[in-house]
Amino acid sequence: MSEFQETNIESTATPRWVGLAIAVLGGVSLVGLGFGVSAWNASKNLEQTTQASLKQQNDALSQRLAKEDEQNQQLQSDLKVVTDKLNVTQEDLEKARQQSKASVAAYNKKLSGLETNVNTQLATKASADDVTKLGGDVTGVKNDLEDTKSKLERATGDMGVMSGLIARNHDDLEELRRKGDRNYYEFTLSKSKTPQRVGPVQITLNKADQKHSRYTMTVLADDKSIEKKDKTAGEPVQFYVKGTARYAPYELVVFDVGKNQVNGYLSTPKSAGAATAASNTAPAQ
């Protein structure tokens, strides 16, 4: 067999699918190559985007750090100023404390010296001082007694009977009460048609002349009506009730005459007759 024939036989014997396989493999290789190029381009773009983002974040972080560093420097500057001022204040406070301690020490020393001096003087002049003080106390008591006598005077009443001691105000009346010689009933009467009970009697204020310190009143006692007309403040106004002696009548004294009102007191003797008069007096209306 010739060489040509052998070659032809081998060519005829090669299957067709081999060629197709080769073609398919070539196409797959081309597709893979395309995908590889695309993936490489995508990776490249992602890397560039990531780098840009990181650069932007880095720049922002750098700006923030720079701003915080500036604020930190400002705070440190303010802190230094405050610290300097605080140091000055503490220094002044310490000076003030030292001056205060020195002043207190000087004052205590001076006080101690004065105390020693006073004690010495008291030791040498105690007797003379006691005598002087005692004399002053005696003089004060005498003055008080004279003052009381001048305020608590005797006077003749409107019925011609010598009155007891007359009080001119509430304090004088308290002094008379302490003496205990008679019964005393302090009152404030307003102008009215209705009588007001004062101790064992009833009294009606009919008129009050503030300008001239004069008044008119009616006393109800022993079922009798006794009018005391146009009387003066400070004047002992006297009247009798059953059981009282001729030398010991009831007495009314008015301290002050106001507008439609008077202030004063009723004085009665301490005797059984006063109780009898009280029981015979008409009840208050």
260 within 8 A of 191, measured Cβ to Cβ: yes
Determine, yes or no, domain membership for 79: yes
Determine, yes or no, domain membership for 139: no
Q: CB under 8 Å to 125, separation ≥6 — which residues?
A: none
Hey, how many other C-beta atoms are within 10 angstroms of the C-beta on 76? Answer: 9
CATH at 238: 2.60.98
Determine, yes or no, domain membership for 188: yes
Determine, yes or no, domain membership for 208: yes
Say whether both 170 and 82 belong to one domain.
no
Say whether both 3 and 78 belong to one domain.
yes
Number of structural domains found in the chain: 2
Say whether both 108 and 203 belong to one domain.
no
Determine, yes or no, domain membership for 120: yes
pLDDT tens per residue across span 185-229:
999 999 999 999 999 999 999 999 999 999 999 999 988 999 999
pLDDT tens per residue across span 74-128:
877 777 776 666 665 667 667 766 776 676 677 667 667 766 776 666 666 655 5
Say whether both 1 and 121 belong to one domain.
yes
Say whether both 210 and 260 belong to one domain.
yes
Say whether both 2 and 88 belong to one domain.
yes
* 121-155 b/e (C-beta count within 10 Å ≥ 16 → b): eeeeeeeeeeeeeeeeeeeeeeeeeeeeeeebeee
Say whether both 194 and 247 belong to one domain.
yes
Determine, yes or no, domain membership for 136: no
Side chain identity at residue 25, one-letter code: L
Residue 129 vs residue 149, higher pLDDT:
129
Q: Which two tokens stand for residue 96?
A: 């003030």
Question: Within 13 Å and on the Cβ side, how many CA atoms surround 262?
Answer: 30
Q: Which of 107, 125, 143 is the last residue of a domain?
A: 125
Say whether both 71 and 112 belong to one domain.
yes
Residue ranges making up the domain that contains 106: 1-125
Is the pLDDT at 45 greater than 80? The verdict is no
Strands 201-209 and 196-198: antiparallel
179 within 8 A of 259, measured Cβ to Cβ: no
Say whether both 83 and 159 belong to one domain.
no
pLDDT tens per residue across span 164-182:
788 999 999 999 999 888 9
Say whether both 80 and 189 belong to one domain.
no
Say whether both 51 and 100 belong to one domain.
yes
Determine, yes or no, domain membership for 51: yes
Determine, yes or no, domain membership for 185: yes
Could you tell me if residue 142 is left (phi over 0), alpha (psi between -120 and 50 degrees) or otherwise beta? alpha
pLDDT tens per residue across span 30-39:
666 666 666 6
Say whether both 88 and 179 belong to one domain.
no
pTM of the model: 0.45
